[in-house]
């Protein structure tokens, strides 16, 4: 295998770099979203409405781990981009060696903890007795893939820090094909139902990890030797210092959403399934902003490392423009196609009704979350992970939960659940924008 060349983001036209960096991430995220909805699509069409409700009821329990791993992967990516921008190859190799060991060891520990804590989390979600057995079986198998999820998150952030987003696209496509193929095989041929879809997911995740690790340690200057791993506890501390705030923030968001899910799970199965599907469909409205924010963070981190502050400012401005236009196009399409998209998961008219209703109540709030993604990514790329965490916890954890809890106590209507999601997103985007443009920190550190 020929040695790979990393891409420097400290030179060249900023807008071109944002677009060339972002489009493979965007396409790969479409496949990752397809990957994420595959289980619901398969059980909704080939098992039963009850099975679809069980998988939907588990969504936020699964996301607690996924979002935590996102933070640790992001912390690794910031360090890699910083050392690559500064041309510090020794620190770069130490960071990569440490990240891989940390991912495998941390994933194993978290898997054990999650399996032991599963009854408690299911109790918090108030999963009904008619779907409890299916939900438990699904989660037991799904959680076994925690090591692969953590490692794949780290790998993808490392590749983005090298300016390489195309290989993430290739691996996401391969993994999605494996996931869909195995899911259909396990469900339709071997009749494993929800367990089959979870098993297909973890196998496809491990395939993606093997491909990504093989590439990362084939870059120029990265000479990986399993007999001579340069592991460093100080690097672990740096990864955690940068990544845990974002991971903790996202874990709390997932935990808060899990508590909100406990209210959803008290409604009929058609409502549970409809809202679960709607959340998956509506999340597509964030794809552009998440893809562009990856470019923002890498551009800011590399150029900060190279002390090119004019390029840092230009990166943030260009990212906000590209993300805003792309997000508006996505959410308009999702609004218009909502009944069709929800209907692909299940043909029950009540599921389509509740899913469509939720999308149309909440989808335009995605424009505000795009602002949060871009400005928070810029702060994180510059090393400030604290304030983005505090903003997200306040808006999407505390305020969203209180909105739903108080709202349902005053007016027991499913639309309170829809509006709770929109309220959290609008508040998060507004606060992130205000912090970026009015705080002394962003001005002092050359972000604006």
Give residues with Cβ within 8 angstroms of 361, minimum separation 6.
415, 418, 419, 422
Q: What are the CA-CA distances from residue 152 to residues 147, 175, 200, 424 (Å)? A: 9, 11, 16, 28
Helix crossing, 366-381 with 49-85: angle to 10°? 30
Cβ pair 281, 44 in contact under 8 A: no
Q: Tell me what pLDDT residue 29 has.
A: 78
* Residues in the chain where the model's pLDDT stays below 70: 1-8, 35-36, 65, 67-68, 220-226
Residue 350 counted as domain residue: yes
Tokens (6 digits) for 83? 């050392």
Kindly report, residue by residue over 117-159, the tens digit of the pLDDT.
Answer: 888 888 877 888 888 888 899 888 888 888 888 888 888 888 8
Phi first, then psi, for residue 225 (nearest 5°) are -140, 115
Q: Tell me what pLDDT residue 5 has.
A: 57
Cβ pair 125, 85 in contact under 8 A: no
- Domain total in the chain: 1
Residue 287 counted as domain residue: yes
Start-to-end Cα distance in the chain:
43
- H or E element at residue 435: helix 415-438
Q: What are the CA-CA distances from residue 39 to residues 44, 88, 280 (Å)? A: 8, 43, 11
Residue range of the domain that includes 234: 14-444
Q: Tell me what pLDDT residue 38 has.
A: 77
Q: Tell me what pLDDT residue 249 has.
A: 73
pTM value > 0.75: no
Give the CA angle between residues 397, 398, 404 to the nearest 5°.
Answer: 90
Rounded-to-integer distance, Cα 78 and Cα 441, Å: 19
Residue 78 counted as domain residue: yes
Rounded-to-integer distance, Cα 59 and Cα 57, Å: 6
Longest dimension (CA), the chain: 64
Residue 3 counted as domain residue: no
Phi first, then psi, for residue 48 (nearest 5°) are -170, 165
Residue 276 counted as domain residue: yes
Residue 440 counted as domain residue: yes
């Amino acid at each position: 295998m020929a040695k790979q060349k990393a891409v420097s983001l400290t030179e060249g036209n900023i807008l071109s770099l944002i677009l060339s960096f972002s489009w493979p991430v965007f396409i790969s995220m479409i496949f990752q979203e397809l990957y994420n909805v595959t289980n619901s699509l398969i059980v909704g069409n080939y098992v039963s409405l009850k099975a679809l409700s069980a998988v939907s009821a588990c969504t936020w329990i699964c996301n607690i781990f996924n979002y935590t791993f996102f933070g640790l992967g992001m912390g690794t990516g910031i360090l890699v981009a910083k050392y690559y921008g500064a041309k510090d190859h020794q620190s770069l190799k130490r960071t990569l060696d440490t990240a891989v060991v940390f991912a495998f060891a941390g994933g194993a520990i978290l898997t054990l903890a999650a399996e032991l804590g599963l009854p408690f989390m299911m109790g918090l979600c108030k999963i009904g007795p008619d779907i409890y057995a299916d939900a438990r079986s699904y989660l037991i198998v799904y959680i076994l893939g925690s090591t692969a999820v953590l490692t794949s998150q780290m790998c993808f952030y490392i590749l983005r820090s090298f300016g390489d987003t195309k290989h993430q696209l290739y691996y996401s496509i391969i993994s999605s094909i494996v996931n869909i193929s195995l899911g259909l095989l396990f469900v339709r041929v071997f009749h494993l139902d929800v367990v089959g879809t979870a098993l297909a997911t973890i196998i496809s995740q491990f395939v993606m990890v093997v491909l990504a690790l093989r590439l990362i340690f084939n870059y120029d200057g990265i000479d990986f030797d399993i007999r001579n791993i340069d592991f460093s506890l100080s690097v672990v501390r740096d990864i955690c210092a940068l990544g845990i705030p974002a991971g903790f923030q996202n874990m709390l968001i997932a935990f808060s959403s899990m508590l909100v899910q406990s209210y959803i799970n008290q409604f009929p199965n058609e409502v549970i399934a409809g809202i679960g599907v709607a959340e998956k469909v509506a999340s597509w409205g964030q794809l552009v902003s998440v893809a562009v924010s990856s470019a923002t963070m890498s551009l800011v981190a590399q150029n900060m490392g190279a002390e090119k502050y004019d390029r840092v400012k230009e990166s943030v401005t260009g990212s906000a423009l590209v993300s805003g236009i792309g997000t508006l196009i996505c959410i308009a399409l999702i609004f218009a196609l909502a009944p069709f998209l929800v209907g692909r998961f299940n043909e029950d008219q009540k599921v389509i009704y509740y899913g469509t209703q939720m999308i149309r109540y909440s989808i335009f709030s995605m424009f505000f979350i795009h602002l949060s993604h871009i400005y928070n990514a810029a702060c994180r790329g510059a090393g400030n992970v604290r304030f983005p965490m505090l903003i997200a916890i306040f808006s999407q954890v505390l305020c969203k939960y209180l909105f739903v809890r108080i709202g349902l106590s005053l007016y027991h209507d499913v639309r309170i659940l829809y509006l709770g999601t929109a309220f959290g997103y609008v508040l998060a985007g507004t606060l992130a924008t205000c912090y970026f443009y009015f705080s002394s920190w962003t001005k002092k550190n050359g972000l604006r």
